[in-house]
């Protein structure tokens, strides 16, 4: 699976609509243009209507592919965009030019948001040059120091999203600094417990193994050198990080050192949420939209 295959699969979906909070942004509108050119989705664009219209005209976006709603103030923009999803007008919510804290407050609102009983978590997919398949990382954006119970929910969320794009039985590596259990390193003890929970059927739909250091999670030669006999080692589809610092550094290292392409969404709400960075390209936003729509529709 690569991003082009994922995008092609998403374009086969029918009746998709995306609600964007704060759409008056060049890169956001370029992503909308790419998406409409691919026949991926319709869009509800919320924010400064005059500026959104100007940007859409500059990109020659067909009026039949968009609805523009004029709303003032970041909080109201985020609320209206979220309500569009809550009310069934749209399948996916996307953050544009609004502050992340304001946006997530709208998502988590009990009265008008997308909150459920599930834990929210972030899932990123990377297409790394010279690697033959996508690899996922979770959670690099929301949970600071997740508990064992939260890690179970994070795995559940990410595995569901990956299964929706075509991974029948994702291989999950619980990452630590070392590949052996050290009682003084909570990441390794949690990883061992998650592995055992998976073997006992408490975590379903995937294969979990850990602790695994990053090298022996993604490189078969490294795994063999360490003598690790595992269905996951050397061929992980998803990397579960123990803390946000690990996830954040890994995410940015893959982006800046490996020059990877990324697609990222937040799952666990009543609908997928595209929470991209303002620095993300229109192409990255397009792939994130494809990821989110496949998760929403499957």
Query: In terms of Cα–Cα distance, which of 127, 161, 178, 104 is closest to 284?
Result: 127
Give the pLDDT score at 122: 96
Q: What is the pLDDT of residue 298?
A: 84
Looking at the fold, whether 70 and 146 belong to one and the same domain comes out as: no
- Residue range 219-248, pLDDT digits in tens: 999 999 999 989 999 999 999 999 999 999
Residues 105 and 125 in one domain: no
pLDDT at 279: 72
pLDDT at residue 43, rounded to an integer:
98
Does the pLDDT at position 70 exceed 90? Answer: yes
Does residue 280 carry a pLDDT above 90? no
Same domain assignment for residues 222 and 200: yes
State both tokens at 262: 């990324």
From the number of C-beta atoms within 10 Å of its C-beta (0-12, 13-18, 19+), residue 294 rates as buried
Encode pLDDT of 110-123 as tens digits. Answer: 888 999 989 999 99
Span of 110-114, 148-152, 204-208, 277-281 with lowest mean pLDDT:
277-281
Percent of the residues in the chain that have a pLDDT greater than 70, as a whole number: 100
Q: Judge if 174 and 103 occupy the same domain.
A: no
Give the mean pLDDT of 261-279.
90
Any domain includes 263: no
Question: In this structure, are 132 and 219 located in the same domain?
Answer: yes
Q: 175 lies in which domain range? A: 121-256
Distance between terminal CA atoms of the chain? 17
Within a domain: residue 108? Answer: yes
What is the number of alpha carbons within 13 Å of residue 61 lying toward its C-beta? Answer: 30
pTM of the model: 0.94
The pLDDT-based confidence of 276 (bands split at 50, 70, 90) is: confident
Statement to judge: residues 252 and 127 lie in one domain? yes
Residues 128 and 226 in one domain: yes
Q: Tell me the three state secondary structure of residue 191.
A: helix
175 neighbors 208 (Cβ within 8 angstroms):
no
Q: 211 in helix, strand or coil?
A: strand
Q: Classify residue 105 by burial, with Cβ atoms within 10 Å: 0-12, 13-18, 19+.
A: middle
Closest CA to 199 of 230, 158, 237: 230
Quote the CA–CA distance of 77 and 83 in Å, as a whole number.
10
* 171-175 β-sheet, strand order: 66-70, 42-47, 17-21, 92-95, 273-274, 261-267, 121-127, 135-138, 238-240, 171-175, 207-212
Q: Which of 273, 267, 260, 292 is nearest to 96 (CA)?
A: 273
Query: Both 52 and 156 in a single domain?
Result: no
Q: Are residues 112 and 225 in the same domain?
A: no
- The answer to the question of residue 201 being in a domain is yes
Same domain, 232 and 288: no
Those residues with Cβ within 8 angstroms of residue 8's Cβ, 6 or more apart along the chain or in another chain? none
Are 20 and 48 within one domain? yes
Residue-wise pLDDT for 150-160, tens only, equals 999 999 999 99
pLDDT band at 79 (very low <50, low <70, confident <90, very high): very high
Any domain includes 80: yes
My answer on whether 129 and 57 are in the same domain is no
Inside any domain, residue 262: no
Phi, psi of 86 (to 5 degrees): -60, -35
Q: State both tokens at 170.
A: 């994702």
**What domain count does the chain have?**
2
CATH code of residue 18? 3.40.718.10
């Amino acid at each position: 699976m690569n991003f082009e295959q994922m995008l092609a699969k998403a374009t086969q979906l029918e009746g998709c609509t995306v609600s964007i909070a704060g759409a008056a942004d060049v890169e956001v509108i370029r992503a909308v243009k790419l998406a409409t050119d691919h026949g991926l989705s319709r869009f509800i664009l919320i924010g400064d209507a005059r500026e959104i219209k100007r940007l859409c005209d500059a990109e020659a976006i067909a009026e039949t592919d968009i609805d523009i709603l004029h709303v003032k103030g970041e909080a109201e923009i985020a609320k209206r965009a979220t309500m569009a999803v809550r009310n069934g007008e749209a399948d996916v919510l996307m953050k544009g030019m609004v502050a992340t804290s304001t946006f997530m407050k709208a998502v988590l609102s009990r009265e008008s948001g997308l909150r459920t009983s599930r834990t929210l978590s972030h899932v990123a997919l990377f297409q790394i040059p010279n690697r033959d398949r996508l690899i996922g990382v979770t959670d690099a954006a929301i949970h600071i120091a997740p508990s064992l119970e939260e890690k179970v929910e994070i795995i559940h969320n990410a595995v569901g999203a990956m299964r929706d794009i075509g991974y029948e039985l994702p291989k999950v590596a619980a990452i630590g600094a070392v590949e052996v259990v050290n009682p003084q390193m909570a990441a390794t003890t949690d990883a061992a417990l998650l592995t055992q929970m998976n073997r006992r059927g408490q975590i379903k739909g995937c294969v979990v193994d850990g602790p695994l250091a990053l090298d022996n999670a993604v490189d078969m030669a490294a795994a063999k050198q360490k003598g690790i006999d595992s269905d996951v080692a050397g061929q992980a589809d998803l990397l579960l990080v123990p803390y946000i610092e690990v996830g954040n550094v890994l995410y940015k290292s893959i982006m800046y050192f490996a020059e990877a392409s990324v697609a990222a969404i937040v799952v666990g709400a009543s609908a997928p949420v595209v929470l991209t960075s303002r620095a993300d390209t229109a192409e990255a936003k397009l792939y994130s939209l494809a990821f989110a729509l496949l998760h929403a529709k499957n």
